[in-house]
Structure 1
Amino acid sequence: MTEKGVTAVEVVRSSVLCTWLAPLWHWLRERYEYSLLAKILRGIALGWRRAYHGSAVVGVLSREGVLTRAWPESVLCRVLTFLISIPTILLQKLYAVGQDVFEHSVFARIAFAVVEQTPLAVAWIMVLFLALPFERWNNAYSFAGFALCFVMAWFAGMRKPGFRLDLKFVGPWLVAFAGMTFAAWPLSAYPSLSFRFLLYYITCMLCVVILVSTVESREQLERLLCFTSLSLLIMSLYGIYQRIQGVEVNLSYVDVNVNGDMPGRVMGFFDNPNTFGEVLLLLIPVAVAYLLCTKSWLGRLLGLLSVGTGCMAMAMTYSRASWVGLALAAVVFVILWNSKLIPLGIVVALVGLALLPDTVFHRILTIFNTSDTSTSSRFPLYRAAAAFLQQRPVLGAGLGSDAVRQSISDLNLFHGKDHFVHCHNIYLQVWCETGLVGLISFVGGILWTAKQGAKAVFHKQCDLVVRMAVIGGVSALLGGLLCGMADYLWNYPRVMLIFWFVCALALAGIRLAGQESRAGEAEETAPAQQPEEYYSE
């Protein structure tokens, strides 16, 4: 070692870090190792692992249902896949006829380079859509953007023999829900009111099919996680900027008699603090997933900033349903990521509660306070929806909140102080719009996605980026389902699109995990290469 190197080592050894902090750290670690707290936490972790691995939940998750096994090879799946892939099939035939012309054309090569980056186009579209202020937003933007990406997806398979838009990994339940949304328009009590909502649902369907079909590598999936984190950072910073500038208390969002000390609630780029909270709930788990899977320092910095600012903005929304949903998302995330950390997570959560600002902690305590008008005002909505479902349980009112609102108004079922906008519950709203079959297929589709996601992340062949994308998407969806018990997440079509975008991320990860699993099994079962002498004999 050179003299310079020895000097550097000596400097480090004699530094404050080594002479004071390092011995203190070793002393604390030794005391903790044999402490009562460490024994209790290890006992809880061991008990949890034993209960978890031997539980009925794991048994249900590990079984393949009859419908799941039959779906990929079913006639319905094949017919629907063929129908939505007809343009791609025709383009493939055209390419086979004029392959030399296409390959020697500069314009064609540029076009192929563009359309084969469809997931990147979706990523940029989501950044632009999420960063647009509410007053500049138009739902036609999302429909036009994803219609363009869908056309790109058709052309992306032009020179890929056998490429088809994928419905196998979308799953039978979500395909059934898509079918019920199409049926709910002509069966609506007010078809003219339902039509524009059909366009919103079609936009979400396009988003799911595009991502599931065109994400073909871990790099593309990681890029989507990166752009989602960037979107979260932009909107969170704007929410924090709103708090710094000051937000006026809106009496329609805050009961000042119960929350007298609470400041104005930030809205970000959205028109409602609850809506902003729902968006943050859906995107924060995805950003955490990106933080844990990216290998670049710039990516880790982006992930850390987006998660940190996102949590700060979430607190400033004072959206209780979103807080509860994010708490469930965190629990699901830890279970799927590393269940051994659950005891530590409980301790961190308790410490975090103790460190919360007084206004946030007081807001949490009002969740079950029925004297809070924002809570009590929901009960007339629930009663009106229940009364309507008694009269039309199978078909519902038709697609969209407008049809439900008009039906309840015509039947004079709402008797609250304010006017009926929606059911303030995603399950009641979906039931009222698409009927009982629509509700069952929707809940079944999200739970099916969660089940397939859990199976994928526990497989030994699952890549880190794929695993974290699935974990982030699944935990966000389940958190959204819990939040949806007190809020209708799809009241704003932009939030509906974000919900299905997160679902598409999870499904795309599940598809890649399945491909990795089959490739690994093929390698394990492949016969060993025989020496040349064997063949010569």
Structure 2
Amino acid sequence: METIENSFAGAVLLRLWFILAGWYETSGIARLIRGVSAAWTRWSHGSALMDLVVREGAFPRAWRHSFFCGLLETVVNLPAAILHWIYRRFRPVFDNSVFALLGFGMGEQTPAFVGWLMLAVMVIPYEHWDNRYSLMGYALAVLLFLAGGMRSRALRLDMKSIGPYVTIFAGAVFLAWPVSYSSALSFRFLFFHITCMLCVAVTVSAVERVDQLVRLAGFASLAMFATSAYGVVQRIQGVEINYSYVDPIVNEGMPGRVFSVFENPNAFAEVLVMLIPLAAALLLGSRSFWGKLGALIALCTGVVALGMTYSRASWIGAAVAAFAFVFLWKRKLIPGFIFLGIVALPLLPSTIFNRIFTIFNMEDTSTSSRFPLYEAALEMIRTRPVRGAGLGTDAVRTAIKDMNLYHGTAPFVHSHDLYLQIWLETGLIGILSYLAAMISTLKMGAKAVKLHCPGEVRLIVIGAASAVAGILVDCLADYLWNYPRVMLIFWFVFAILLAGIKLARRAGQQRAAEGVRL
């Protein structure tokens, strides 16, 4: 940092910065923004809206002390309890075994294994990835966690932190297989969901320290940088225009859309929406210069790559994620954030600016072609509202075809809406429990950032909550889980949010206990 300050270029830039900052501080724009920010802060503190946002529901509060939660934790942790009993019975044998000690040590490093696993999930090219790798990887993570739990009773699956709604949704997924329109077609998709369940369970349960949570966010940011940099290289080399992704008439002059290692530009954009807020959290929360620099490079590369995907729904999702981040971080900056967003619009490249204006253009075939999909999905829901058509896009597609519900020109692949698709696949219980899980967890995240907890934890909770909020808006116009890898990344980010909430609560409780003792 001193080298930059002492250089000629650094001195010029710093002087220019001080001049601009001094002008801004005394300008009318600054006074206007500060006034609006102060009014916003006064209104938001203690308002009914803020109370609704941060208030935790009665059901999640009761869940942590309920008999069913305790019973469920006892059942899922029974293998670990048995292994711990064996360890205590033959402790000298295990403590004198190099292989046993190695297994225990590896088990206690399960969060690091999860980080490396997710790095592989996110950077290996689509054509070289098999979704069975994800399942095998998380099965191994569970085995490592059991090995660590054999010696340490602290390593147990934490159903309290996972919450009731996620547990109910998992039950709805299992139930959707046998009642499917075609259980044979649904069987393969059941294992995709099981992989995600293992991801959430082992990630939330294994993260016990702040450094482990930060490391997981760091792995996610590293993966985003790698895939984003590859996307930028794709743009430099040139990407062939795929007319199934873009209407060439309405989007004249738009180049090919980058997709990095994810085959589909929309899938790549959705991954970026989920990972950019985590990089922003690391940028603000890192205590080292190199940590901040790495997060800044990852963040900037991700934002540039997101623009190159030309994914309109993901741009909206990213804007919502940015708004949510600022809202949870420093609400008084919201007016300034909105002002800067409006000012920045004319500065966007012309292709991106023109692409934004096609969002509500019904002449764009990529927009108009979705209405027959929505109509078929809604008709299928009316036909089987409670149990749905069955788990997986294959069962849904077959049911809609057999009932002759789709009358569009393009083939029916999925409903292009996550919420419709979840209802189609898992029925009424599935969609209600999913919505409840998302809303409840976001509210818990909003409450957790107000607790007295380490700054890194608070910022990562903000980043993960913002990512979830942004992608939930993005999913109004696309089916996020069409690619199992993207579905796994979503649940990984969701697990980081739950793990951060757990650590924030624990720190808040410890601070409260210390206050009582004083």
| Residue in 1 that maps onto 2:460 | 469
Aligned counterparts of 2:41 and 2:364: Cα–Cα separation in 1: 40
Where 1:158 maps in the other structure, the secondary structure is: helix
Displacement of 1:33 in angstroms is 3.0
Displacement of 1:225 in angstroms is 1.1
| Residue in 2 that maps onto 1:325 | 317
| Residue in 2 that maps onto 1:284 | 276
Alignment of 1:145 onto 2:137: yes
The one of 20, 24, 29 aligned to 1:32: 24
Aligned counterparts of 1:430 and 1:353: Cα–Cα separation in 2: 35
Q: TM-score, normalised by structure 2?
A: 0.96
| Residue in 1 that maps onto 2:71 | 79
Alignment of 1:487 onto 2:514: no
| Residue in 2 that maps onto 1:346 | 338
Looking at CA atoms only, which structure, 1 or 2, has the larger radius of gyration? 1
Displacement of 1:351 in angstroms is 3.1
Where 1:206 maps in the other structure, the secondary structure is: helix
Unaligned runs of 5+ in 1: 1-7, 529-537
| Residue in 2 that maps onto 1:249 | 241
Which deviations, in whole Å up to 9, do the C-alpha atoms of 1:3-57 show, x marking residues without a partner?
xxxxx9xxx9998977x87776655544433332122101110111112113222
1:158-237 correspondence to structure 2 within 5 Å: 158-161=150-153, 163-237=155-229
Displacement of 1:299 in angstroms is 1.8
Distance 1:422 1:343, change over 3 A: same
Where 1:249 maps in the other structure, the secondary structure is: coil
What amino acid sits opposite 1:210 in the alignment? V
Aligned counterparts of 1:194 and 1:293: Cα–Cα separation in 2: 43
Displacement of 1:164 in angstroms is 2.3
Where 1:302 maps in the other structure, the secondary structure is: helix
| Residue in 1 that maps onto 2:85 | 93
Displacement of 1:98 in angstroms is 1.6
What amino acid sits opposite 2:74 in the alignment? F
| Residue in 2 that maps onto 1:509 | 500
| Residue in 2 that maps onto 1:478 | 469
Displacement of 1:152 in angstroms is 1.1
Which deviations, in whole Å up to 9, do the C-alpha atoms of 1:319-340 show, x marking residues without a partner?
0001000000000001111112
1:437-452 correspondence to structure 2 within 5 Å: 437-452=429-444
| Residue in 1 that maps onto 2:377 | 385
Contact 2:145 2:155 in 1 (8 A): no
Distance 1:29 1:133, change over 3 A: closer
Displacement of 1:300 in angstroms is 1.7
Give the number of aligned pairs.
Answer: 515
Displacement of 1:223 in angstroms is 0.8
Aligned counterparts of 2:209 and 2:13: Cα–Cα separation in 1: 44
Which deviations, in whole Å up to 9, do the C-alpha atoms of 1:53-80 show, x marking residues without a partner?
1322211234332202210121221122
Which deviations, in whole Å up to 9, do the C-alpha atoms of 1:121-164 show, x marking residues without a partner?
00001111111111111110100000110111112212223542
What amino acid sits opposite 1:489 in the alignment? L
Contact 1:150 1:206 in 2 (8 A): yes
Where 1:169 maps in the other structure, the secondary structure is: helix
Where 2:153 maps in the other structure, the secondary structure is: coil
Displacement of 1:109 in angstroms is 1.6
Contact 1:226 1:299 in 2 (8 A): no
Aligned counterparts of 1:13 and 1:250: Cα–Cα separation in 2: 49
Q: Which segment drifts farther, 297-306 or 164-173?
A: 297-306
Where 2:151 maps in the other structure, the secondary structure is: coil
Aligned counterparts of 2:17 and 2:412: Cα–Cα separation in 1: 59
Q: TM-score, normalised by structure 1?
A: 0.93
Distance 1:24 1:398, change over 3 A: closer
Aligned counterparts of 1:456 and 1:310: Cα–Cα separation in 2: 27
Aligned counterparts of 2:306 and 2:18: Cα–Cα separation in 1: 37
Contact 1:229 1:303 in 2 (8 A): yes
Distance 1:30 1:260, change over 3 A: closer
| Residue in 2 that maps onto 1:520 | 511
Displacement of 1:210 in angstroms is 0.5
1:333-482 correspondence to structure 2 within 5 Å: 333-459=325-451, 461-482=452-473
Aligned counterparts of 2:6 and 2:309: Cα–Cα separation in 1: 48
Contact 1:397 1:432 in 2 (8 A): yes
What amino acid sits opposite 1:439 in the alignment? I
Aligned counterparts of 1:26 and 1:357: Cα–Cα separation in 2: 29
Distance 1:261 1:213, change over 3 A: same
Alignment of 1:102 onto 2:94: yes
Identity %: 50
Q: Which segment drifts farther, 374-383 or 67-76?
A: 67-76
Aligned counterparts of 2:142 and 2:238: Cα–Cα separation in 1: 42
Contact 2:104 2:148 in 1 (8 A): yes
Contact 1:466 1:509 in 2 (8 A): yes
Displacement of 1:451 in angstroms is 0.6
The one of 34, 43, 46 aligned to 2:35: 43
